[in-house]
Amino acid sequence: MLILLAGIFALHIIGVILLLVATIDNAWWVGNNLSTDVWGRWTEQGGVWNLTDLPQGSNYPQDYLQAVQASSVLACIFSILGIFVFVAQLFTLSKGQRFTVSGIFQLLASLCIMIAASIYTDRFHIDEGTLGWYGHCYILAWIAFGLTFISSIIYFVLRKKTA
C-alpha cells in the first residue's frame, strides 16, 4: 500500500508541475517570430525577444482571456491545496474518510484547467491557423487535465482502502 501511495503522490506532483508550467510558461500559441501565452505576447525583433501586451480586439476578447487566466490559476491553487490535504489526511482521518477532500480538490483542478483550455481553443486564434500553431503549454494543459482527472478518480477509489 505504501508503494501505491507513493505512486499517487508522484502522479499528483507531476500534475502540479504540468499545471504550473502550462500556466506560467509562454507557449500556448507559437509562430515563426512570436510566442503567446495567457499573460502576454513575446515577439522576436532583431534576435531579441520582447514582451508586449496581448492585442485588443476580436482575436483576444478580454472577458474570455480573464476567464482563461483565472481558471488556470485556480487549477494550480486547487491542485497544490490537494497535495497538502492528501498528506494531512494520511495522518489524521480514519479509513473510509481519507482522500475524499483531496479527490474533490483534484476534480476541481481538472475542471478548471479543462475550462481554461476549452475557452482558449474556442475563442482565440480562430483565423490565425496558417500563422501559428498551439504550443507546448497548451498541450501540457490538456495533459494536466487528464492527469488531475485520473488522480481525482484514484483518490475517490482509494478512500475505502486501508493505508
CATH number (domain holding residue 12): 1.20.140.150
Average pLDDT over residues 8-19: 94
Classify residue 134: in a domain, yes or no.
yes
List beta partners, residue 100.
none
Classify residue 8: in a domain, yes or no.
yes
Domain housing 20: 2-158
Lowest mean pLDDT among 48-57, 60-69, 148-157: 48-57
Q: Are 78 and 108 in contact (CB under 8 A)?
A: yes
Classify residue 163: in a domain, yes or no.
no
pLDDT of residue 162: 53
Give residue 36's identity as a one-letter amino acid code: T
Strand 41-45 to 29-30 pairing: unpaired
- Phi-psi category of 57—alpha, beta or left, where left has phi over 0 and alpha has psi -120 to 50? left
Distances in whole angstroms, Cα of residue 42 to Cα of each of 18, 24, 49, 51, 155 = 21, 13, 6, 5, 39
pLDDT of residue 137: 94
Q: Could you give the number of structural domains in the chain?
A: 1
pLDDT of 51 > 80? The answer is: yes
Q: Which helix (DSSP H) or strand (DSSP E) does residue 140 occupy?
A: helix 136-158
pLDDT of residue 81: 96
Q: Are 98 and 87 in contact (CB under 8 A)?
A: no
